[in-house]
Amino acid sequence: MGSQRMLRVSQAANALLRDGAKFDPWALSWLPCEDRPKDARETTPLAAVAWLFSQPRVRRVPVGVIGPKMASVRQMDVAGLVGRRLGELGVPMLCGGRSGVMEAASRGNLEAGGLPIGILPGDEWTEANPYIAIPLATGLGPARNAVVARAAVALVAVGGEYGTLSEMAFGLHFDRLVIALEDAPEVPGAVRCPDVETALERVAQRILALDG
């Protein structure tokens, strides 16, 4: 919590600051800095991420949303909210590009102004659900799960079975933050969160290199 209280945004310096450091939006890391702009105001990790991704020069690493193709109504609603909130924050979102949780997250993200990315298992972009803005056909079949995990800075799992389990395991293997929502599989190392906002707070801390 202390790292959150230290976050400051300076409009005059166009900078995100914490005690003795300035955030590099291209390297997504903190650099030593002694400047203390007088207009710097305290902010939260989520608000800091929203400000950061509203800037023209920032490395736009995506967050992955994963879950089952055959999803419950509750899972679809939660996935849609995750996608929507990421879109509102301006954080790029990727998923497996197909149905179920992936489609719900893509719809929420697109409706919030995002450009959801679909990492597709098949050979053609036309296999993407109707809300994917950037379809990437891999021809890798189930092996594309490793690409989803590797490409994301963090993964948010909403429910899931074996495919989601493999993505979560790959994510942890690649040292990604893996969040579990709803009845996502129990995987040692994954962070189970009670709700979407708590999950996104953890994601924001990872993007801002505050949880190391």
CA 119 to mean position of chain CA atoms: 15
pLDDT of residue 177: 98
- pTM confidence score: 0.94
User: Model confidence at 20, in pLDDT bands (50, 70, 90)?
Assistant: confident
Burial class (CB in 10 A: 0-12, 13-18, 19+), 183: middle
Let me know the angle formed at the C-alpha of 22 by 17 and 27, rounded to the nearest 5 degrees: 125
Q: What would the pLDDT profile of 48-104 be if each residue is shown by its tens digit?
A: 999 999 999 999 999 999 999 999 999 999 999 999 999 999 999 999 999 999 999
Q: Is the pLDDT of residue 26 over 60?
A: yes
The bridge status of strand 63-66 relative to strand 154-158 is parallel
Return the amino acid letter for 57.
R
pLDDT of amino acid 1: 39
Q: Is 23 left (phi over 0), alpha (psi -120 to 50) or beta?
A: beta
**C-beta separation of 28 from 59 below 8 A:** yes
Task: Give residue-wise pLDDT tens across range 142-192.
Answer: 999 999 999 999 999 999 989 999 999 999 999 999 999 999 999 999 999
Measured at the CA of 180, the angle between CA 177 and CA 181, to 5 degrees, comes to: 135
Residue 88, token pair as written in the block: 């509102």
CATH tag for 63-207 (out of 1.20.59.20, 3.40.1110.10, 3.30.160.270, 3.40.50.450): 3.40.50.450
Query: What does DSSP assign to residue 55?
Result: S
- The alpha carbon of residue 160 and the mean position of all alpha carbons in its chain are separated, in whole angstroms, by 17
Model confidence band, residue 34 (pLDDT cutoffs 50, 70, 90): confident
pLDDT at position 2 is: 42
DSSP code of residue 62: -
- For residue 121, give the 3-state DSSP assignment: coil
Per-domain boundaries in the chain: 2-43, 63-207
